[in-house]
Structure 1
Amino acid sequence: MNQPERPPQHPPLQQPGSKTPLQQRSDGSALINTNGTVVAPVVNGIPRFVSDLHLESFGFQWTRFDVAHESEDHATFQAKTGVAPESLHGLTVLDAGCGGGRYALLCGNAGALVTAADHSHAVDKAASLCQHLPNVRFLQADLKQLPLPPASFDFVFSIGVMHHDAHTQTVFNSVAKLVRPGGRMSVWLYRRNQWWQEIINSSLRSVTTRLPRHILLPLCHLGAVLGGIPLINRTLNKIICFSAHPCYQNRVCDTWDWWAPRYQHHHTAKELTDWFQAAGFTDITELPPEKTNSWYRQLWLWNLLPGSGVNVTGIRSVQNLPNP
């Protein structure tokens, strides 16, 4: 990616809504506005801008399981963003929905100035993972109300997060405003499958999203076992979604991520592309799936892979930008 003509530094924090500049209180316990009013407590070094943790079921898996794998995460990041991590050195980067922090870690190790935000307590796990990186900071905040100035990041990415809000496009629009003119944004969302798969999934999720953790978690472990059995992990999981990842912990985590969150919306490539266009992006590209074998690609094109994604990247236009 192109280097901006300015010295690298984190974008300043500002009060959501009023856009008033924020500074840390002298004792480090909170962020305050210009009137001295506490806007966000700072707990374990992380500013907390949320009070309603309605996404807690979404954050549980990232605090429970260790799913970072350096070489795999590098390949996945590049496939799902269209950007090589090495090209981010010295750039301001926003990880919008950082989860357990594996991609924040990747970008931080590449020398980017990373702001990583998540609504849930997963930010604590992510901060622990990146504690050796002074160029990575964390925020616990709603992606629709991030305490950040518009047009302030060189690169913004969101992998598998926006579709877990009540209104995916609202989250997209809020995050898109943070990309500077000439900057890049990449988004990965769940793909809309065939009608019969959508009916099965919605019916099952109407039950699983209501299950207590002590019941749902063993079911996710069962899904992880099935995901390790050849043939079953290539057939049954086209009907009932469970992960076929090589690592058992990742399979449990991915399966929980599918069945637990309250909200889960599926989208088409056209939908996501239209959002990019409406938000003032150009050079919009739909990225292909990470897996390259011809059978997988064909199933992907036929929208027969539950858990697969629509993946789009674009450059924010210097002209005709929407109002922040």
Structure 2
Amino acid sequence: MSSQYVNPSLDWFENIIGLNIPQEGEKVELDGCEYIFKNGILRSSALLSAAQEQTSDTFGFKWSKRDTFEGEAMQDVLRNWLLEKYGDVTSSSWFKGLGENPVVLDAGCGASNSALVMFDQVLEKIRYIGVDVSEAVDVAKLRFHEKGIQIGALQSDLMQLPLPDQSVDLIFSEGVLHHTDDTKKALKAVNRHLKVGGYFLFYVYRKKGPIREFTDDYIREKLQNMSPQESWQEIKALTALGETLGDLDIEIDIKENIDLLDIPAGTINLQRLFYWHIFKAFYRPEMTFDEMNHINFDWYAPKNAHRQTLDEVREWCSEIGLSIEHETEELAGLTIIAKKTDQL
């Protein structure tokens, strides 16, 4: 590790939450809610909705399967995708303007997969708080520990984070807000912890064409009575079909827009036609089968997986004092970089 490492203790985290890190098994009260300190993580005792309980179980299972997302090919795809969506964040002037040791809240960190890639060049400088509703936060803490870095770790619902208002410099929420009971309410709840002048980076699912929307809801509902392990197995058939379509490497020419189905005219690979407009069956030839299944599972298994329009997201940001400085709209989702201009 670099001799410039400036984040060896959690004094800064204790200052933010307003108490000393408790002993193992000790219970404390934060912001009116009871937390227990277990395996180095403060965990909320608050009850979750049925949908959030299912989402917690799903992502706890998914992120425990480290061999399905830590491979080189998978990490390269993630790195390139984040760069395409957000740009080179840590080299940007606005990021440098946050100071030498900004407090970064990863709202819905999972295994910190995206954060470890996004902030790779500044991990030894940022003060990182990883929060997740699931036990995936244990994996996040372990992965940082393997790099010799301590983090502030919380297992908590994003709607009830035990952090003061305006206490963090940057919020990163990559593909998470739509997995809550209400995307807009989650955005608003998390935003209150951001300082005026700070930045909110997030990605949410985008609404797609009618066939894909119907199929997504249909498959997701079919999985609700299954355990995460059973869902993982069921989704393998979709992954196998996506792999078969991808290996065919066939292009077709759609002669004109099919407005009734929101399918545009043009030349498209057959696998991508299915992927974007019929059902999600991710395919990358450089990835293993389990890595592709991981991505399909991520999409279909959680009950909460809301989709938004760009106009909706713009309106929500305006309502809570976020000024959008960068947006990327893809068929898959919407990526936003916004500066907090008001404490609304």
Q: Same fold (TM over 0.5)?
A: yes
Aligned to 2:44, the other structure's residue is in SS state coil
Partner residue of 2:131? 117
Q: Using a 3 Å threshold, how does the CA distance of structure 1 residues 97 and 214 change in structure 2: closer, same or farther?
A: closer
Note if contact 2:33-2:44 (Cα within 8 Å) is conserved in structure 1.
no
Task: Give the distance between the partners of 1:115 and 1:90, measured in 2 at CA.
Answer: 13
Larger deviation: 276-285 or 63-72? 63-72
Matched residue type, 1:164? H
Is residue 315 from structure 1 mapped to residue 339 from structure 2 by the alignment? yes
Give the alignment of 1:182-197 within 5 angstroms: 182-197=197-212
How far, CA to CA, are the matches of 2:234 and 2:156 in structure 1? 30
Gaps of 5+ in 2: 1-10, 250-269
> In structure 2, what is the equivalent of residue 304 of structure 1?
none
Q: Which residue of 2 aligns with 1:215?
A: 230
Letter aligned with residue 130 of structure 2: A
Distance 2:27 2:102 in 1: 25
Question: Does the Cα contact within 8 Å between 1:80 and 1:287 map onto a contact in 2?
Answer: yes
2:215 to 193, 200, 206: 200
Candidates 42, 48, 64, aligned match of 1:47:
42
Cα distance 1:11–1:227, how it changes in 2: closer, same or farther (>3 A)?
farther
Matched-pair contact (CA < 8 Å) for 1:197–1:239: yes
The runs of at least 4 aligned residues of structure 1 exceeding 6 Å deviation read none
Q: 2 CA distance for matches of 1:175 and 1:146?
A: 8
CA distance in 2, matches of 1:33, 1:260: 33
Q: Which has the larger radius of gyration?
A: 2
Contact 2:178 2:306 in 1 (8 A): yes
Matches of 1:316 and 1:143, distance apart in 2: 19
Instruction: Specify the code of the residue in structure 2 equivalent to 1:169.
Output: K
SS at match of 1:193: coil
Asked whether 1:64 is paired with 2:65, we answer: yes
Deviation at residue 83 of structure 1 after TM alignment: 4.9
Deviations, residues 214-263 of structure 1 (Å, cap 9, x unaligned): 43222222233333332453233231212224422331111111221111
TM (norm. structure 1) is 0.79
Alignment CA distance shift 1:83-1:92 (3 Å): farther
Matches of 1:38 and 1:202 in 2, distance apart? 34
**Counterparts of 1:147-296 in structure 2 under 5 Å?**
147-229=162-244, 230=246, 231=249, 233-237=271-275, 238-245=277-284, 246-248=286-288, 249-289=290-330
Match of 1:32 among 28, 33, 39: 28
CA distance in 1, matches of 2:328, 2:306: 19
CA shift for structure 1 position 161:
1.0
Superposed CA offset, 1:139-170 (max 9, x none): 11111111111112211111111111111111
The code of the aligned residue for 2:131 comes to A
Describe the superposition over 1:170-217 as per-residue Cα deviations: whole angstroms up to 9, x where unpaired. 111011111111111111111101223212222222212223344322
Work out which of the residue numbers 50, 55, 79 in structure 1 matches 2:84.
79
Question: Which digits, 9 at most, give the CA deviation of each residue in 1:49-87, with x for residues without a partner?
Answer: 145460212332111243135544433333344452355
CA distance in 1, matches of 2:149, 2:27: 19
**Given that residues 127 and 138 in structure 1 are in contact (C-alpha distance below 8 angstroms), is that contact kept between their aligned partners in structure 2?**
yes
Change (3 A) 1:172 1:264: same
Corresponding residue for residue 20 of structure 2: 23
CA contact (8 A) 2:14 2:20 kept: no
- Which moves more between the two structures, 226-235 or 97-106? 226-235
Q: Calculate the TM-score normalised by the size of structure 2.
A: 0.75
Contact 2:192 2:343 in 1 (8 A): no
Kindly indicate whether the alpha-carbon contact (under 8 Å) linking 1:47 and 1:140 is maintained by their aligned counterparts in 2: yes
Question: Separation in 2 of the partners of 1:260 and 1:48?
Answer: 24
Q: Which of the residues 142, 146, 151 maps onto 2:157?
A: 142
Distance, in Å, in 2 between the alignment partners of 1:244 and 1:112 is: 34
Rate the CA distance shift 1:183–1:214 in 2: closer, same or farther, 3 A.
Answer: closer
Query: Does the Cα contact within 8 Å between 1:109 and 1:133 map onto a contact in 2?
Result: no
Q: Looking at secondary structure, tell me which structure has more helix per residue.
A: 2
Kindly indicate whether the alpha-carbon contact (under 8 Å) linking 1:93 and 1:156 is maintained by their aligned counterparts in 2: yes
